[in-house]
Amino acid sequence: MARAELMDFDKALELFEPVMGFEVHVELNTKTKMFSEAPNVFGAEPNTGLTPLCLGLPGTLPVVNEQAVRYSISLGLALGCSIAESSSFARKNYFYPDTPKNYQISQFDEPIAFEGSVQIELADGTLIDIPVERAHMEEDAGKLTHVGGSSGRIQGADYSLVDYNRAGVPLVEIVTKPIYGGEHRSPEIAKAYVSAIRDIVVSLGISDAKMERGNLRCDANVSLRPRVAEGVETPPLGTRTETKNVNSLRSVERAVRYEIQRQAAILAKGGSITQETRHWHEDTGETSAGRPKSDADDYRYFPEPDLLPVVPSAELIAELRAALPEQPAVRRRRLKAEWGFTDLEFQDIQNSGLLTEVSETVAAGATPAAARKWWTGEIARLANAADADAASLISAADVAALAVLVEAGTLTDRLARQVLEGVIAGEGTPQQVVDARGLAVVSDDGALIAAIDEALAAQPDVLEKIRDGKVQAAGAVIGAVMKAMKGQADAARVRELVLERASA
C-alpha cells in the first residue's frame, strides 16, 4: 500500500475547516440475540451460538428481544434523547458473506430515540456539547476472518472464514449531527466523545463496552471545507469519508487527525475526495480505501414486514428514566471527592482515558492511589511500548490483585513490575505468576539476618560507622543483601535489622 501524502496538521487547519460526525455501535449484553433465542456469548466456539433465524433459513421469523428494547430506551434517555411514541424496524439490504439473510434488520426513518446531546470534557476541563441525531436498534453482522496475505484484509487473502455467532447480536447505533468548530482539537474531541459514550453504557450496565473485543466500535466521518474571507458565503460541506470500526480511543484520535491531513493534501492540489469507507491500520497509523460509501437509497430500505412497531408505554419510559445512574460528569466529581485526588491527579486519569479501568480496579479491592499509580504509570508505559491500548493488556481484577499483593508486603514494587509483565505475557493471574516464578518477598527474618551477617563480614567497618552516627553507611549492607536475595527482600525491613545489629 503506497503511503498517502499528508499535509502538516497546522497548515491543514489554516486552509480548511474540519467537520466531523460519529456513528458509535454499542453491542448490548443481553442473554440472547436481538431477534432469536440464540445465546449472546462472546468468545464461544465459532458457529455454535446459532438458530435457523441466524442463518437466514426460509420460514424463520424474528421476535424482538424485550430486554434489548429496554436497554435501548435507557441509553436513549441517558443521551438526553426523546423516546419515540412508536418506532419501527426496516430491512437494510446489502449482500455480504457475514450477513446470511442478505439484509440487516435495522431502523430507518423511525428510530427508538432522537434529538439528544452528550457533554464531553477535554483535557483542560473545557466542556463541549455534542449533538446526537438519533439512536436506533439493529442487529450485528457475523465476523469474517481473512486467512493468508499480509494485511488481514480480504485483499490478498487465500480464503475467508465466517463465524455467525455475532450475527444477530443486539446493537444500538448512536449517530451524531455534524460537529463544527472542533478546529485543532478535533482529534481530541473525537476521543473524548467515544470515551463519554463508553462511560455512559458502562454506567448503565447494558454493554461490556470493551473496544478491543468489538463491543463498542466507532465509525469516524471526516470532511473538510475551504476557509473563506469574512463576509463571503460559507461553502457547502465537503465530501466525507467514513473510517470504519475503529476499536480504541487512541485510534479514534489518530484516525481523525490522519484523515484531516490526508484530505487536506489532496484538496490543496486541486484533487477531490472520494465518498468512501476507509480502514484504519493500527500498525502503520494510516487509513486505506474500502468501498464507495452508499447513501440510504442504495440500501433499498423498506419496512420489516415480520415485526410490529415498538410502542413503549409512558409508564415504562418513566420507570427507566427513574432508574438511570448518575451522569458521567457527576460521577467524575463524586469519584474525585471519594478518592481524595487533587485536580492534577484526577486530570491525569482523565487524560489517560483510563477512568473506567481505575474505577473498576478500586471496586475490585485496590486503593485509589494504587489503582491510579499502576494504570497511569507502569501499565501505560508498557502499552506505549507495545503501541497498544492499556485496557487491552490486563484486566482490572488482575491489577487489583497485584496492588493487594504489594499492599500486603508479598511483593515490592520492583517484584510487582516483573509479575505485571508475566500477567501481560499470559502466564496467569498475579498470584500464579508469583508462585511459578518464585517472586514473593522473603519474609523470614532468619534468612534475612543470615544474609546481613554475611554482608557485614565482608564489610566489617560498617557497624562501627553506624554506631558513630553514620547511619547512611547501612546502605552498602542493604544493597549487598538485596543482591544476595535477588531483590526479594523488603529493603525497609533489612534496614531495621541492620540497625538492630548495630545497636546490639
Q: Within a 10 A sphere around the Cβ of 350, how many other Cβ atoms?
A: 18
Summarize the chain as % helix, strand, coil (round to 5): 40, 20, 40
pLDDT band at 434 (very low <50, low <70, confident <90, very high): confident
Mean pLDDT of the 47-72 span: 96
Computed over its alpha carbons, how large is the radius of gyration of the chain?
28
DSSP helix/strand/coil, 459: coil
pLDDT surpassing 90 at residue 495: no
Q: Which pLDDT score is estimated for 156?
A: 76
Q: Which helix (H) or strand (E) holds 92?
A: strand 90-93
Mean pLDDT of the 219-230 span: 94
pLDDT surpassing 60 at residue 268: yes
pLDDT surpassing 70 at residue 281: yes
Asked if 257 contacts 224 with a C-beta cutoff of 8 angstroms, the reply is: no
Predicted TM-score (pTM) of this structure: 0.76
Q: For residue 348, what is its C-alpha cell?
A: 491525569
DSSP helix/strand/coil, 462: helix
Q: Which pLDDT score is estimated for 150?
A: 67
Instruction: Please state, in angstroms and rounded to a whole number, the distance separating the CA atoms of residues 97 and 242.
Output: 21
Residues 6+ apart with CB under 8 A from 427: 433, 436, 437
- Given the DSSP bridges, would you call strands 170-176 and 159-163 parallel, antiparallel or unpaired? unpaired
Mean pLDDT of the 124-148 span: 93
**Where in the chain are the domains?**
3-228+242-317, 330-437, 445-503
Query: Which amino acid is located at 445 in the chain?
Result: D
Percent of the chain with pLDDT over 90: 65
pLDDT surpassing 90 at residue 238: yes
Q: Which pLDDT score is estimated for 264?
A: 98
Question: For all residues of the chain together, what is the average pLDDT?
Answer: 89
Instruction: Please state, in angstroms and rounded to a whole number, the distance separating the CA atoms of residues 327 and 448.
Output: 53
Q: Which pLDDT score is estimated for 44?
A: 93
Cross-strand pairs, 489: 442
- Given the DSSP bridges, would you call strands 143-147 and 82-83 parallel, antiparallel or unpaired? unpaired
Instruction: Give the pLDDT confidence of 11-21 residue by residue, as tens digits.
Output: 999 999 999 99
pLDDT band at 231 (very low <50, low <70, confident <90, very high): confident
Mean pLDDT of the 175-198 span: 96
pLDDT surpassing 80 at residue 352: yes
Q: Which pLDDT score is estimated for 298?
A: 80
Top-confidence residue, 481 or 129: 129
Residue 169, φ and ψ in degrees, nearest 5: -65, 135
Percent of the chain with pLDDT over 70: 87
Most confident among 90-99, 253-262, 292-301, 390-399 (mean pLDDT): 253-262
Instruction: Please state, in angstroms and rounded to a whole number, the distance separating the CA atoms of residues 56 and 314.
Output: 35
DSSP tally for the chain: helices H, then strands E: 17, 14
Most confident among 254-268, 379-393, 434-448 (mean pLDDT): 254-268
The DSSP secondary-structure symbol of 375 reads I
Mean pLDDT of the 404-425 span: 89
Instruction: Please state, in angstroms and rounded to a whole number, the distance separating the CA atoms of residues 300 and 297.
Output: 5
pLDDT surpassing 70 at residue 501: no
Q: Which pLDDT score is estimated for 290?
A: 85
Residues 6+ apart with CB under 8 A from 318: none
pLDDT surpassing 90 at residue 463: no
Top-confidence residue, 261 or 415: 261
pLDDT surpassing 60 at residue 442: no
pLDDT surpassing 90 at residue 497: no
Instruction: Give the pLDDT confidence of 302-350 residue by residue, as tens digits.
Output: 999 999 999 999 999 999 999 999 887 788 889 999 999 998 899 889 8
Top-confidence residue, 292 or 52: 52
CATH architecture of the domain covering 445-503: Orthogonal Bundle (1.10)
